[in-house]
Structure 1
Amino acid sequence: MTALMQAVQIEEYGGPDVLNLRRLPIPTPIQGEVVVKVMAAGVGPWDGWIRAGKSVLPQPLPLTPGSDIAGVVVEVGPGVNELAVGDEIFGVTNRRFTEGYAQYARARVDMLAAKPSSMTFEEAASMPVIAVTAWQMLHEFASIKAGQRVLILGGAGNVGAYAVQLAHLAGAEVVATASDAQADHVRALGADKIIERSMRRMDPYTSSFDAVIDTVGGGALEQSYALVLPRGVVVSAVQKPDSTRLPQHVRSDFLLVNVVTPTLEALVRLAADGELKARLGDILPLADARRAHQMLDGSQHRPGKILLIP
């Protein structure tokens, strides 16, 4: 008799109402995978894009959304030596960013890392995609160094909050946009200066940046083009910057996150040492996945990462 689990599934693309709780078979791992008993699953904007049929990757239906997970390994697949049954892990399920909203999930071992005992499952599940995105923008694309000046657009957002912390830890001078209500929080993360998020209140301090790290896009990104130094960097997690409007020799690109074990391990070392802090938002049962996606689509919710608990 096939063992079953609860999982969220969509059979057609659309709004939050296409998310349904189902009884599905517990998955079996293939080469390079493990099966994880999911203790917490993160909810991110990319989950909403997949649900709405707007993913940049092919997403055959039916599917179970969700990529960020933390939990306990219950089965290892062929060729897996890195992890064992009973290991507490966190990371991402697969390169399609699916299968996470479930009691059990298959996951690639090269997209997982050990969860430190100092972190809760909720904290660990909140980190992978957003923290790795911030790390890649700052360290792998912009190559931030101590003493450089960095402008972070959206310093109070989930990716932006990690970008502020990581830029501060790198020794950069950090300027971030944030609402007046979030300004103190962003300063506490390590921002040296706050610009009101509309970027209307500007002063000479807000010009001449070595790097612009964008997590919001739109008008804020466009206004930042004039603020980056020649040979500087503009990198966005939201949209491709318009290179024709940038100063000469400025590198720019849209970053598509690549979650891998070494990056997760680097981040979790900082978290375990207390140098990198997660911010948890609303924590809901798996059955409330529709409500979680309503929050993604604009319904009021607490600041921080939304989580589902299977």
Structure 2
Amino acid sequence: MAWFKREKKGISTTTEEKKEAPDGLWNKCPNCKKALHSADLIEHKYVCHYCDYHLRVGSKEYFEVLFDRDSYTELFANLTSGDPLSFVDSKPYADRIVETTAKTGLKDAIRAAHGKIDGHPIMIACMDFNFIGGSMGSVVGEKIARSIDYSLKNNVPFLMISKSGGARMMEAAFSLMQMAKTSAKLALLAQAKIPYISLLTDPTTGGVTASYAMLGDINIAEPGALIGFAGPRVIKETIKKDLPKGFQTSEFVLEHGFLDFIVDRRQMKAKLATFLKMMEN
């Protein structure tokens, strides 16, 4: 009976001869769901070339995108968080730090480095969302403060790349103190007339938005980034009203005067170089 026969068509490959695709070779765009080859992602600065969606990336990728090749040096790399409150939730905070460090290879939610962008010296601090949601703890505040001190000492501009869920609850008041600490340091930078550029990426929320993220001489953001203090769901439940379309996107924030520019990541280095050249003059 032909109905019960399976005819072989095309090329048949035995199980032993099949080859699996290496891990990390392909990614899927969270927006359009299309497959993205890793080499294409790197070439397009981790932006989907189908729909222009900006994928979330960490400090390593931002340093590679912005700094001139092999021009940067990381600073303050060995700073790690303590456990001032002996905080315990589902697990001790100290254990969570150890586990997250092992998983991500990061010491905390921020890295700092100095180098050059198109030949212009600059100090950059960049947050990493993969480390406990990019939460702002004492190490984040200290690294920003030390980065600003480096800019003051060497008379170079400072770029802050924010990507955070807000304050780190496990450090309570120690976390909230970083808002005042970093803002005071930025005031010294302003007094010295050294440029400060703030780049807000997806997401930038909570105490980070309420402090250093919004204090730049120039505030810029990537397209479609979530920017705000409380999240849209919390606001909607509080005011009991529907929110405007696109609420808390970088486009909405720009329209209401809290941003100066929205810049595509693929043009970010050139745009920053233009800012730096203008400020030098």
Q: Which structure has more RCO (C-alpha within 8 Å, separation ≥ 6)?
A: 1
- Greater percentage in strand: 1
Larger Rg: 2
TM-score in terms of structure 1 length? 0.26
